[in-house]
């Protein structure tokens, strides 16, 4: 990916988009460098944050361009996409952009159509001059599960196009595009103190109401010693303790938790991992 110099860190959100910036990460560092060459594992820093932009289609706004495409809202609030004129092809082009370097993206939803290849997803990295197909329906009904990691990682923007074929009765429900990016956790607001804390968000006058939500994990002192079957080390001036687990993508790995110091009765839970990371 390329960033213009001086790099503009403005982060405008458009209709249909939500964003989150986190101190923790999902294990998603950008995995390429230079001429899209693999990044050595040793180059991945031990401490970084991941954020995400989640887009769901909206009838208005400049996040996407619609051509003969109608965006309706189902009873459960999910967007429903179909052609305004069923006899003609329809398309939606989502123009993703982020001041932080991208690390991953995925597309989910459900479709129905009379034939295969009636709903197609394609990516462009040159403002729509050329397109690369990344997914197409194979059945008359099913789920959309498109992983865009290898295409979008180490970039700052991409265009995603959904094409619906003419006369195929194609319909897409609940389309959701989730794009993750990399942020420096050390540049985000600092530690929370005991008692009341105030975080201020500063920006230009918003065109529409903006809602911000802050979430945190309460850290409590304990007399229990906790260890995992992992590479364990301290960082950030001994203020952060990290457990590193190296996993094989084609094999399950048991996580062993050992508690020391006194007898313990209760449950041990592992939370905050992305969907699909835990078995059982």
Question: What is the full per-residue pLDDT of the chain (280 aa) written as tens digits?
Answer: 555 667 788 888 899 999 998 887 887 788 788 888 888 877 888 778 899 999 999 999 999 999 999 999 999 999 999 999 999 999 999 999 999 999 999 999 999 999 999 999 999 999 999 999 999 999 999 999 999 999 999 999 999 999 999 999 999 999 999 999 998 877 776 667 777 888 777 777 777 777 888 877 766 677 888 889 998 888 767 767 778 888 887 888 888 999 988 888 888 888 777 677 777 6
CA angle, residues 198, 271, 235, in degrees to nearest 5:
65
Contact between residue 131 and residue 161 where contact means Cβ atoms under 8 Å apart: yes
Helix and strand counts by DSSP (H, E) for the chain: 1, 18
Token reading at 58: 């909206």
| Per-residue pLDDT at 148 | 97
Measured between alpha carbons, how far is 116 from 131 in angstroms, rounded to an integer? 19
| Per-residue pLDDT at 142 | 97
| Per-residue pLDDT at 276 | 73
Token reading at 121: 């997803």
| Per-residue pLDDT at 26 | 82
* Chain centroid to CA 88: 32
| Per-residue pLDDT at 82 | 98
Show the DSSP H helices in 130-185 as ranges.
149-152
β-pair type (17-21, 225-228): unpaired
H/E run at residue 149: helix 149-152
Domains of the chain: 17-183 (2.60.120.260)
**Which residue, 146, 219, 171, 168, is CA-closest to 71?**
171
Contact between residue 239 and residue 231 where contact means Cβ atoms under 8 Å apart: no
pTM of this structure: 0.78
Token reading at 202: 């500063």
Measured between alpha carbons, how far is 25 from 7 in angstroms, rounded to an integer? 23
């Amino acid at each position: 990916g390329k960033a213009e110099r001086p790099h503009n860190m403005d982060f405008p959100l458009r209709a249909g988009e939500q964003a989150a910036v986190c101190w923790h990460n999902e294990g998603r560092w950008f995995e390429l460098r230079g001429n899209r060459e693999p990044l050595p594992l040793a180059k991945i820093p031990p401490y970084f944050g991941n954020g995400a932009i989640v887009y769901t289609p909206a009838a208005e706004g400049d996040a996407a361009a619609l051509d003969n495409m109608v965006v309706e809202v189902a009873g459960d609030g999910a967007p429903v996409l179909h052609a305004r004129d069923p006899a003609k092809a329809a398309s939606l082009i989502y123009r993703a952009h982020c001041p932080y370097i991208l690390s991953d993206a995925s597309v989910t939803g459900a479709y129905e159509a009379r034939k295969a290849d009636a709903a197609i997803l394609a990516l462009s990295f040159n403002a729509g001059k050329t397109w690369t197909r990344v997914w197409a329906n194979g059945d008359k009904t099913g789920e959309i599960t498109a992983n865009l990691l290898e295409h979008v990682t180490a970039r700052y923007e991409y265009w995603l196009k959904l094409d619906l074929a003419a006369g195929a009765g194609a319909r897409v429900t609940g389309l959701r595009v989730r794009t993750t990016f990399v942020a420096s956790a050390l540049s985000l607001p600092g530690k929370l103190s005991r008692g009341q804390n105030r975080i201020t968000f500063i920006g230009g006058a918003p065109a529409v109401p903006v809602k911000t939500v802050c979430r945190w994990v309460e850290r409590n002192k304990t007399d229990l010693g906790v260890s995992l079957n992992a590479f364990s080390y301290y960082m950030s001036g001994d203020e952060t303790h990290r457990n590193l687990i190296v996993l094989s993508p084609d094999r399950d790995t048991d996580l062993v938790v050992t508690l020391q110091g006194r007898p313990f009765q209760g449950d041990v839970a592992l939370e905050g991992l992305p969907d699909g990371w835990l078995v059982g």
